[in-house]
């Protein structure tokens, strides 16, 4: 028994993305969920399932009151920050598929545009968790931790800087076509990338995601209650490799083969589709190397060959695999990756701002360097 | 020592032997007698099920990776930025790695070593100092004249 074809993503909704939005996170959540419910064509009172990230600050019961949702029979939070998005959607899909609930809302609302809201900047004076092993040495920020793996990758497989530049420039071009993107109207070329300041060598400013305010939501229904052309969950998997340590995943024999590799193996074992069938991919991209690592982990390139896929085969609209086609976390908005799932749905509906012709199968992934998850979505008709 | 940095709690589970060794000025990690595997960070038991005891390690290792951290950083680190942070592979076991600062001599500030002095795979040696009052931690002395010549 698998999830294949049992659950539909029947509605999507989002707020404006940007910096310094007036609304609270809670109001942003309401706006996005309300839009998703209208898109799905269902009344708020029929919603009986809710799922979100553990890092979501808005209590689910407040949203039930705010929006007039029904009696809730499934509520869950999924852990691990940027690794949680596909897990939140997939867990809600499992609840819908098994009848635990009949209409589930999954959302992410975030106000992260202020420098003081950076999670690392609020580091505790005494570290009780696993960051005690690295932060006292000055490895402070997520970008520092990813830089450590990126440099090792370069040592083992060769220069990645041209590929990182291509990722940043390609995602910016997608954002330039997407009026909802934070970087809509702001061009970037390769020279701009190389001129941007170094943050954690070898990673520059434009290897980092945006700091955004905004919210996004989607609605899950049993497939037989959605239209025949609805977007269906084809497969879902979560993964945590033994020995893994979130973000600073440095203490296994091969840290360059992380939790994504076990997530991918599970995902592909639960579907008849293969990486070659994927028309468009939405890889979690808080930092550009995560796209490179994910391309390899999910089987689109052999280990060490991801840079060639990016720079030669291409991740633009006419490339071998269009990636993060709304601009992603680097150039659309950073909502812990949740906006990536909405873009996958738009692609499969044929409603994307940079539309992949006849897209039928889309991959959505969570953060490569945390425990994570992935979703394979397909067009129903 | 830098005042005001985030400090590691010393009372975490399975860590007593780690801190006790550092207090004596030596580095020790958990070792499994049953399968001869070394472990860090500390854990309840070996993945093979075997019991773990703390054993001194040589403190010898190689530079597995590094980054140079540029601003913005936490205020305590700001006067030192940009500075290099290393990730060291200890000689005792694959995967036995520690994050730490790189120095030429014990007591060097964290920004003493520059990226151009570094080569992944170069030999390093633990030197135990205090990163804050009562918090011993290893830095890693680089030995730039003795590259290993092979990938660890």
Which single residue is written with the structure tokens 């934070």? A182
Judge whether B72 is closer than 8 Å to chain A, CB to CB: yes
Averaged pLDDT for residues A264-278 = 98
For A194-222, what is the mean pLDDT? Answer: 98
Residue with the bigger pLDDT between A122 and A246: it is A246
Closest partner CB to A136 (pick from B8, B66, B97): B8
CB count within 10 Å of CB B44 equals: 9
Walking along chain B (152 residues) 10 residues at a time, the average pLDDT comes out as 92 97 98 97 97 98 98 96 98 96 95 97 96 92 62 46
The residues with which B125 forms a beta bridge, in sequence order, are B60, B141
Chain A residues within 8 A (CB-CB) of chain B?
115, 120-121, 123-128, 130-141, 144, 147-149, 151-152, 155-156, 197-203, 242-243, 245, 248, 250-253
Q: What pLDDT was estimated at residue B1?
A: 81
Question: How does DSSP assign B38-104, residue by residue?
Answer: EESS--SS-TTS--EEEEE---EEEEEEEEEE-SS--GGGGGG-SEEEEEEEETT-TT-EEEE-EES
Q: Directed axis angle between helix A25-40 and helix A60-67, to 10°?
A: 60
Evaluate whether A220 touches A9 at the Cβ level (below 8 Å). Answer: yes
Task: Return the pLDDT at B148.
Answer: 45
CB contact under 8 A, A248 and B99: yes
> Residue A321's closest CA among A167, A187, A103, A177?
A167
CATH 3.30.930.10 describes domain A7-114+213-223: no
Report chain A residues whose CB lies below 8 A from the CB of B98.
133
Q: Which residues of B touch A126 (CB under 8 A)?
A: 6-9
Q: What is the mean pLDDT of chain A?
A: 97
How confident is the model at residue B147, as a pLDDT?
47
| Cβ-based contacts of B3 with chain A (< 8 Å) | none
Active site residue A284: yes
What is the tens place of the pLDDT at every residue in A355-375?
999 999 999 999 999 999 999
Q: Which of A53, A74, A193, A284 is catalytic?
A: A284
Q: Tell me how far apart the alpha carbons of residues A124 and B11 are, in angstroms, rounded to a whole number.
A: 16
Whole-number Å distance between alpha carbons of A57 and A24: 11
Give the containing element (helix H, strand E) for A315: none
In this complex, how many residue pairs, one in chain A and one in chain B, have their CB atoms less than 8 Å apart?
124
Domains of chain A by residue range: 7-114+213-223
What number of other Cβ atoms are within 10 A of residue B48's Cβ? Answer: 10
């Amino acid at each position: 028994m698998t999830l294949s074809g049992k659950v539909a993503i029947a509605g999507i909704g989002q707020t404006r993305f940007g910096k310094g939005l007036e609304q609270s996170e809670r109001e942003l959540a309401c706006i996005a969920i309300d839009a998703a419910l209208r898109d799905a064509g269902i009344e708020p009172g029929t919603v009986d399932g809710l799922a979100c990230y553990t890092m979501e600050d808005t209590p689910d019961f407040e949203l039930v009151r705010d929006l007039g949702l029904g009696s809730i029979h499934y509520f869950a939070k999924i852990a691990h920050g940027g690794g949680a998005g596909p897990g939140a959607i997939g867990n809600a899909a499992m609840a819908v598929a098994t009848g635990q609930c009949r209409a589930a809302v999954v959302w992410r609302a975030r106000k992260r545009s202020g420098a003081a809201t950076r999670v690392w900047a609020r580091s505790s004076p005494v570290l009780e968790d696993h960051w005690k092993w690295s932060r006292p040495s000055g490895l402070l920020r997520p970008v520092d931790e990813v830089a450590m793996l990126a440099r090792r990758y370069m040592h083992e497989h060769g220069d990645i800087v041209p590929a990182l530049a291509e990722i940043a420039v390609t995602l910016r071009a997608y954002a330039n076509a997407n009026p909802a993107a934070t970087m809509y109207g702001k061009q970037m070329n390769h020279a701009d990338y190389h001129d941007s300041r170094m943050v954690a060598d070898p990673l520059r400013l434009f290897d980092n995601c945006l700091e955004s305010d905004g919210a996004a939501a989607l609605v899950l229904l049993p497939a037989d209650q959605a239209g025949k052309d609805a977007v269906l969950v084809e497969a879902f998997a979560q993964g945590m490799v033994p020995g893994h340590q979130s973000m600073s995943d440095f203490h296994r024999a091969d840290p360059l083969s992380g939790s994504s590799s076990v997530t991918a193996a599970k995902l592909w074992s639960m579907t008849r589709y293969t990486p070659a069938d994927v028309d468009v991919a939405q890889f979690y991209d808080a930092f550009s190397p995560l796209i490179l690592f994910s391309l390899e982990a999910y089987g689109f390139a052999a280990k060490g060959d991801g840079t060639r896929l990016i720079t030669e085969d291409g991740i633009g609209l006419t490339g071998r695999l269009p990636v993060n086609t709304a601009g992603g976390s680097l150039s659309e908005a950073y909502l812990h990756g949740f906006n990536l799932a909405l873009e996958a749905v738009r692609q499969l509906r044929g409603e994307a701002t940079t539309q992949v012709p006849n897209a039928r199968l889309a991959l959505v992934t969570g953060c490569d360097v945390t425990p994570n998850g992935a979703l394979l979505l397909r067009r129903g008709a | 020592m830098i005042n005001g940095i985030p400090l590691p709690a010393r009372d975490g589970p399975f860590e007593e032997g780690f801190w006790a060794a550092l207090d004596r000025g030596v580095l020790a990690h958990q070792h499994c007698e049953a399968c001869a595997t070394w472990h860090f960070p500390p854990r309840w038991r070996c993945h093979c099920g075997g019991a773990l005891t703390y054993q001194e390690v040589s403190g010898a290792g190689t530079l597995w990776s590094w980054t140079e951290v540029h601003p913005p950083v936490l205020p305590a680190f700001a006067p030192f930025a940009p500075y290099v942070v290393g990730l060291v592979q200890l000689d005792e076991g694959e995967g036995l790695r520690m994050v730490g600062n790189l120095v030429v001599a014990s007591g060097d500030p964290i920004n003493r070593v520059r990226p151009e002095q570094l080569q992944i795979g170069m030999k390093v040696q633990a030197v135990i100092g205090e990163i804050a009052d009562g918090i011993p931690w290893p830095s890693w002395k680089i030995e730039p004249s003795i590259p290993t010549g092979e990938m660890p």
